[in-house]
Structure formats: structure tokens, C-alpha cells
């Protein structure tokens, strides 16, 4: 969560869940990401098209979980009438190379625009 614009500092799962649910009334789609039947992260797509994925267990990074979540989510989002006309994008910190790779491998490109708090906007082509 170090790359979020306003992250809670080292939250417990319960603190993250509380933060996540507070933010989600703005979302079209949100989900808890599960791995081997236990919660390990979150996914959301806000009403303005912003997509975010968090995998909270460092030991699970690099296993393709976020890529799998994003790939499946894009299929589902394209099928929802409420999201078909949205410009889908992500806000990614310039140092978050792993997230850049996840989104780039799923068709997102850096727009060249700063999003907020020094983060960059990546858009789905």
C-alpha cells in the first residue's frame, strides 16, 4: 500500500477492509481477492473508470495473481452495461514497476498525464 495516494500505514487486514469498504460506495465493481480460499487483497472499478488492485501479502507477489484478477475483471467489466462506455484507467506510482507490468500486459499504456500525488495515469487502449 506504500504506493497509494493516501494509504493507511501498515494496516491490518481488518483496517484495510474498513478503508476499502468506506471507499467502495463510489465503485461500480469491487471484490475481495482470494487465494486458496482466503482473502489476500482487493479489486475495484470506480464510477469514473479507475481500476485498482491490491495484493496485501508480499509472499504472494510475483505469482500472477494481480494479472489474473485484472484479466478476468476486464472481461467482466466489458460485459456490464454500466461500464461499457467508461474509459478504464489506473493510477500507478512511477516506482511501482510490478503494477506497471500488470497493467501493461493487459493493454494499458501510460497516458503521459500526472494523475495525483505524483502518480501516473495508465489508460486501457
Residue 1 has pLDDT above 90, yes or no: no
Closest CA to 87 of 46, 43, 124: 124
pLDDT attached to residue 21: 72
The predicted-structure confidence for 83-101, as pLDDT tens digits, reads as follows 777 889 999 989 899 999 9
Using a pLDDT cut of 90, give the percent of the chain over it: 34
CA–CA separation, 67 and 90 (whole Å): 14
pLDDT attached to residue 63: 93
Domain membership flag for residue 8:
no
Query: Domain total for the chain?
Result: 1
Domain membership flag for residue 7:
no
Res. 7 pLDDT band, cuts 50 70 90: low
Domain membership flag for residue 116:
yes
Domain membership flag for residue 5:
no
The CATH number for 89's domain is 3.40.630.30
Domain membership flag for residue 97:
yes
Residue 9 has pLDDT above 70, yes or no: no
Domain membership flag for residue 3:
no
Q: pTM of this prediction?
A: 0.78
What is the extent of the structural domain holding 90? 13-124
Residue in this structure with the C-alpha cell 486501457, named with its chain if needed? 124
Domain membership flag for residue 73:
yes
pLDDT attached to residue 2: 54
pLDDT attached to residue 89: 93
Cell of 90: 489506473
Enumerate the β-bridge partners of residue 35.
38
Domain membership flag for residue 4:
no
CA–CA separation, 88 and 60 (whole Å): 26
pLDDT attached to residue 108: 97
CA–CA separation, 5 and 92 (whole Å): 9
Amino acid at each position: 500500500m506504500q504506493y497509494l495516494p493516501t494509504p493507511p500505514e501498515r494496516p491490518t487486514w481488518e483496517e484495510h477492509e474498513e478503508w476499502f469498504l468506506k471507499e467502495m460506495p463510489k465503485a461500480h465493481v469491487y471484490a475481495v481477492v482470494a487465494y486458496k480460499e482466503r482473502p489476500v487483497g482487493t479489486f475495484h472499478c470506480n464510477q469514473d473508470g479507475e481500476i485498482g488492485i491490491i495484493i496485501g501479502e508480499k509472499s504472494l507477489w510475483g505469482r500472477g495473481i494481480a494479472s489474473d484478477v485484472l484479466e478476468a475483471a476486464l472481461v467482466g467489466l466489458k460485459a456490464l452495461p454500466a461500464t461499457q462506455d467508461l474509459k478504464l484507467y489506473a493510477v500507478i506510482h512511477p516506482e511501482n514497476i510490478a503494477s506497471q507490468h500488470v497493467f501493461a500486459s493487459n493493454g494499458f499504456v501510460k497516458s503521459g498525464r500526472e494523475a495525483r500525488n505524483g502518480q501516473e495515469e495508465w489508460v486501457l487502449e
